[in-house]
Amino acid sequence: METLDVDGRRFTAARATAADLPAIVSLLADDVLGAERESKQLEPYEAAFRELDSDPHQLLIAVRDDDGAIVGTMQLTLIPGLARAGAKRLLIEAVRLAPATRGSGLGTALFGWAHDYGRAHGATLAQLTSDKTRADAHRFYARLGYIASHEGFKSAL
């Protein structure tokens, strides 16, 4: 567990457990895009969590405030690869922070921790995609030093 001190408030970031799923799913659904995409049933998330949790290259994070309430989540994936002279990538997916925490500096602290995690595991490149409608998120990523150098393509299978 990692402590994130943000402007006098104390948060923790830790590997999520099955008991955290309802709160994490609520965060995913409490979002303008997630509201249309997420399920009311917990079962599909439980199955996905079991698979994710058994893969040592995946890390699902639960962020708690000082009352122990889950107020944030992100998923980190370590991806070894040949391109860029054998660069290992840290893929960041499914980032959500509770609306009440926005602007508090928690996002910056959480990404700082995630980048440290990536470096500690040999990653030299962090990457993520963000829906083109999320203008606030794009400004946040730019402030963190991310470059919007790529188009992000998706296709249903």
Give Cα 41 distance to the centre of its chain: 22
Q: Which of 12, 26, 58, 104 contacts its own copies by CB under 8 A?
A: 58
- Residue 98 DSSP one-character state: -
d(CA 143, CA 157): 34
Rg (Cα) of the chain, in Å, rounded? Answer: 16
| Widest pairwise Cα distance in the chain | 46
Q: Is 26 helix (H, G, I), strand (E, B) or coil?
A: helix
Q: Which of 119, 136, 139, 143 contacts its own copies by CB under 8 A?
A: 119
Minimum Å gap between C-beta 109 and its own copies is 16
Which residues are bridge partners to 6 per DSSP?
Answer: 9
130 in Cβ contact with 154 (< 8 Å):
no
Interaction of residue 19 with its own copies, rule CB under 8 A: no
Q: Which region among 4-12, 62-70, 98-106, 117-125 touches its own copies (by CB under 8 A)?
A: 117-125
Interaction of residue 68 with its own copies, rule CB under 8 A: no
d(CA 111, CA 37): 25
Length of the chain: 157
Q: Which of 2, 9, 104, 146 contacts its own copies by CB under 8 A?
A: 146
Q: Which region among 7-15, 63-71, 102-110, 112-120 touches its own copies (by CB under 8 A)?
A: 112-120
Interaction of residue 9 with its own copies, rule CB under 8 A: no
Q: Which of 1, 19, 32, 156 contacts its own copies by CB under 8 A?
A: 156
Q: Residue count at the site for its own copies (CB under 8 A)? A: 65
Q: Which phi and psi (to 5°) does residue 105 adopt?
A: 95, -5
Interaction of residue 17 with its own copies, rule CB under 8 A: no
Token look-up 């009311």 returns 40
Give the residues lining the site for its own copies (CB under 8 A): 21, 24-25, 28, 34, 37-39, 44-45, 47-49, 51-52, 55, 57-58, 60, 75, 77, 79-91, 93-94, 115, 118-119, 123-132, 138, 141, 144-157
